[in-house]
Amino acid sequence: MGVAKTIRPYHQPAGGWGALKAMGTALVQQHVAVAGMETLARMNQPGGFDCPGCGWGDPKHTSPFEYCENGGKAVAWEMTARRCTPDFFAAHTVTELAALNDYELEMEGRLTHPMRYDAASDRYLPVSWEDAFALVGAHLNALPDPNMADFYTSGRASNEAAFLYQLFAREYGTNNFPDCSNMCHEATSVGLPQSIGVGKGTVVLEDFARADCIFIFGQNPGTNSPRMMTELRNASRRGATILSFNPFRERALERFQAPQSPVEMATLSSTPISSRLFQVRVGGDVALIKGLMKHLVASDADARAKDQAPVLDWDFIRGHTQGIDALIADLDATSWDDIVRKSGLARADIIFAAEAYMRAERAILVYGMGITQHRHGTQNVQQIANLALLRGNVGREGTGICPVRGHSNVQGDRTVGITEVPSPALLDALEARYGFTPPKAPGHNVVTALDAMVKGEAKVFIGLGGNFAAAIPDWQLTQEAMRQLDLTVHIATKLNRSHLVHGRDALILPCLGRTEVDMQASGPQSVTVEDTMSMVHASIGHNAPASEHLKSEPAIIAGLARATLGTRSKVEWEALVADYGLIREEIEAIFPIFQGFNTRIRVPGGFHLTSLARERIWATATGKANFLVCEGLCEDPQVGVDDVLWLTTVRSHDQYNTTLYSLSDRYRGVYGQRDVIFLAEAEMERRGLAEGDRVDIVTVSRDGIERAVRAFRVVPYAFPEGSCAAYYPETNPLVPLYAHDPQSFTPASKGVPVRLVKSPPRAA
C-alpha cells in the first residue's frame, strides 16, 4: 500500500485540507475521480441518494456540499471501478483468499456475479440466480425447525428491503433476527424505553442550534459522523459549552477546520470545539455520571437551604418522573473516593462539568459506542437519561438525549420490524394483513445466535449486508462455529471475511448499492431510510450498476422467499418488487406511524417519525419517565487485579467498521499499520515497555480459554491509566462471547480486561 509504518503525532485541527485531500485520494484510488465528484454532488440532496456512511441527520436547507470526508470515502468504495469477477475467484482458492487482509479483500472491488462455493476445488464458482435461490429454499425447507436458521441484517439495508426480509423470515417461521444493532446501540433500544418510553433519541437537528450546552460521551464525531461537526462548530461559535468525555483526546473534539468554510480553509484557521475534554477511564462512565449527578443533587440541596433557585427541575421531576428518591439515596451512598478512582477524573473536574451543566438552560447529551459497548451498557445509557431528567432536558426545545446511530439505516430497520422480540401489535398486524400466523417466541440476537451456532443448534445463516464473521466477538470460537453451518448466504457488494468463513454450502449474492439505478418492472425505484433524528427520507441512485448481473436487495429477498415458500406464501412478492411504492403501502399498513408514507417522502428532507418522549408523553410501564438506579459503579471483580488493563476496541479514522480504507489513522498519528496498542507512559513504565516494543494482548478470561492477539506495537499516548486501546476488528478475538451486557446482550467490546506480555522476538 506504499505507506510507511510510522507514528507521527498530528498537530493540525480535524477536517480542513487534510480531509479534502483524503477524500480526493479515495476517489483516485478507486479510479472514479470525476464520476465520484459528480455523484457526491447528489448525496443527501433532494432527488439524490442518502449517504451510505453514517446515520447522522440531513439539514432541511441543504447546502450543495452536504457530505464529508468519510461519506466521500464510503461513496468512492461503493463506486469503485474495480471488479471482483468470476475470473478472480477462478484464480484463487478460498484458502488462498483467506490469507489476504480485510483491506486487500475489499480492494478487489465490486462483486459482479452470484457465486457458489465448490468444495471439490475449494473455489467459488458462478451460479445462476435461480439455482442460488433454489439452494437456499432447499436448505431452509429441510430444517426440522425454522428456528435453526438465522437472518442477520446490517444497518445499510433500506426500509423496503428490511421490511420484506422480516416478512419472509416470519412467514417462514422464525424471529431469529440477529442485527448489527445488537453489537451497537442495543443498549439504547433496551435502556431508553425503560427510562423514557422510547428506544430512540429525542432530539432533531434544529435542537442543536438552540442548545447552550452539549455533552459528548464516548463518541467520535470527527471520524464517525463528520457532518455532526457542522452543528458542533456552529454551537461552539455561538458560545455554547461543549464538553467531551473520552479516554482519547480525539482531535475533532478539540479543534475543527470546516471544509465548507471558505474563510477557515483560506486562512488555515479552525474553531475550537470542546471547551474541555475529560479523559475518563475506559468503563468509568457510570462513576463519572454519578459524580455529575451527585454534585447536582448536593448543589440543589444547598441552593434550597439558602432560598435560592433550585438546581433540579422539580416541577418536571414531580409532574413527569418517578424514582427520584431512590436515585438520590444511591448517589448519597456513592463516595467521591470511589467516583474518582473508577472514573479516573479529579473531583474538581467532575464538579467543573456539573456546574457547566447546571448553568445551561438547554442541554443535549450525546453518546456513542463508548457508552453502549460495555457490560453495563444499558445502565450507562440509563444514567445519561437520569442526568437529562434531573434538569428536565427531555421534551423541550434545544434539549434532549442524542444517541448517535451507526449505519445509515440501522434505526429504520428496527422501525420496520427487524427485531427478535416482536411486539404483540406487530404480530397481530402481520396476521391480520397476510393471514399467516407469525411465530411468537423470541428469536436470536447476535449473542444467542452465536451461542446456538457454537452448540451446533443453528444450521443456516443468511446475511443481508454486513460482515458478520468479522464484526462478531470471540473469533476463535465463533468463526469455528460458523464453519460448521450447513449453509451461509451473504447478500453483499464487496468480498469480505464472512464469505471466506463459510458453511459447507455457501453463496455470495451480489447486490446493487445505494448510488446505483434500481430498475424494476414499473421503472426506476427509490428506497427510504431513517436517520438518527428519526427523519425518514427517500434515496435514489443515478449511477449505472456495477454489473448487469446485480439484483436489488428487495429483489433478492423476494427471490429467496419465492424459492422457499412457493405457493404457500400469502405475499405477492413479485408485485411488491415491481413497485417499491407498494412495499411502502405494506409498511404503512403494518406500522401506523408511517401514515401517508408515499406522499410524505416526496417532501424534500422527508418527514419526522413522532417520538412521544419529545412531547413528554411517557410510554413506560409507570406512565412516567423513570429514574433508574444502577447499583454500585458496576465494577467488575477483576478490576484491581494488579496488572489488568481495560482495553477498548475502536475505529480508526480510515475505516468503515470492517471495511478498511487504509491502514492509517491520521488524527491519532498512526500510519501504515493497525497492529498497535495505545498505552499511557506510566503503564509502559510499570511494565518495563518502551515505545515500539511488541506485546501480546491476552484477555483475562473466565472460562479458561486463551484469547490473545500477538505482537502489537506499543504506542505511547496520553491515555488514562488502567486503560488501553486498539483497533476493531483486529482485536475481536479478545472479546469473550460471554462478556456482554446481560440486558441488551451487547458485547463488551469497549471494556475487555487484558494483560500484556512481551512478544518473543520475531524470526528474522
Site for ligand MGD, rule CB under 6 A: 53-54, 70, 106, 154, 156, 180, 183-184, 217-220, 223-225, 245-248, 250, 280, 282-283, 285, 368-370, 373, 406-407, 464-468, 471, 491-494, 496, 511, 513-514, 553, 648-651, 655-659, 728-729, 732, 735, 749-750
Query: Which span sits near Mo ion by CB under 5 A: 182-190, 225-233, 382-390, 736-744?
Result: 182-190
**Phi, psi for residue 511 in degrees, rounded to 5:** -125, 165
Greatest extent of the chain over all pairs of C-alpha atoms, in Å:
83
The reply on whether position 136 binds Mo ion by CB under 5 A is: no
341 and 722 Cβ atoms separated by less than 8 Å = no
Residue 393 interface partner, choices ligand MGD, Mo ion, none, CB cut-off 5-8 Å depending on type: none
* Residue 300 or 741 having the CB closest to Mo ion: 741
Q: Is 370 in the site for Mo ion (CB under 5 A)?
A: no
Q: Which does 274 bind (CB under 5 to 8 A by kind): ligand MGD, Mo ion, none?
A: none
Nearer to ligand MGD among residue 270 and residue 662 (C-beta): 662
Smallest distance, Å, CB 265 to Mo ion? 31
C-alpha cell at 369: 459506542
* Separation CA 438–CA 351 (nearest Å): 52
Binding to Mo ion (CB under 5 A) within 389-408 occurs at 406
Residue 317 in the binding site for Mo ion (CB under 5 A): no
Smallest distance, ligand MGD to C-beta of residue 231, A: 15
Q: Residue 184 or residue 625: which is nearer to ligand MGD going by CB?
A: 184
Considering the complex, state which of residue 250 and residue 313 has its C-beta at the smaller distance from ligand MGD: 250
d(CA 139, CA 571): 21
Q: How many Å separate Cα 27 from the centre of its chain?
A: 24
201 binds, among ligand MGD, Mo ion, none (CB under 5 to 8 A by kind): none
- Asked whether the beta carbons of 536 and 412 are under 8 A apart, the reply is yes
Residue 513 touches which of Mo ion, ligand MGD, none (Cβ within 5-8 Å per kind): ligand MGD
- H or E stretch at 685: helix 681-686
How many residues line the site for Mo ion (CB under 5 A)? Answer: 2
Q: Among the candidate windows 184-192, 290-298, 345-353, 420-428, which touches Mo ion by CB under 5 A?
A: 184-192
Output 124 or 607, the one with its CB closest to ligand MGD. Answer: 124
To the nearest 10 degrees (0 to 180), the angle between helices 377-390 and 285-305 is: 20
Task: Give the contacts of 429 (CB within 8 A, at least 6 positions apart).
Answer: 589, 590, 591
CB contact at 8 A, 415 and 591: yes
- Supply the DSSP symbol for 354: H
Supply φ then ψ for residue 189, to 5 degrees: -65, -30
Report in angstroms how near the CB of residue 56 gets to ligand MGD at its nearest: 8
CA distance 672 to 610: 45
CB of 195 to Mo ion, least distance (A): 21
Shortest distance in whole angstroms from residue 489 CB to ligand MGD = 11
Q: Report what 735 binds from ligand MGD, Mo ion, none; CB cut-off 5-8 Å by kind.
A: ligand MGD
Residue ranges in 42-157 assigned as alpha helix (H): 69-79, 86-91, 94-98, 102-107, 129-142
For ligand MGD, the closer of residues 444 and 494 by Cβ is 494
Among 167, 184, 365, 401, contact with Mo ion (rule: CB under 5 A): 184
Min. distance of Cβ 224 from ligand MGD in angstroms?
A: 3
Give whole-number Cα distances, 650 to 204, 631, 653, in Å.
Answer: 27, 27, 10
* Least distance to ligand MGD, CB of residue 174, Å: 20
The binder of 334, among Mo ion, ligand MGD, none, by C-beta within 5 to 8 A per type, is none
32 binds, among ligand MGD, Mo ion, none (CB under 5 to 8 A by kind): none
Q: Which of 174, 749 has the CB closer to ligand MGD?
A: 749
Least Å from the CB of residue 410 to Mo ion: 6
What does the H/E/C string look like for 608-627?
A: ECCCHHHHCCCCCCCCCEEC
Helix ranges, 143-250 (H): 159-172, 186-196, 221-224, 228-238
Cβ contact 320:624 at 8 Å: yes
Stated as kind and residue range, the H or E segment containing 747 is none
Binding segment for Mo ion among 80-88, 183-191, 474-482, 615-623 (CB under 5 A)? 183-191
| 271-272 vs 110-111, strand pairing mode | unpaired
Distance CA 112, CA 550 (A): 7
Residues lying near Mo ion in the complex (CB under 5 A) are found at 184, 406
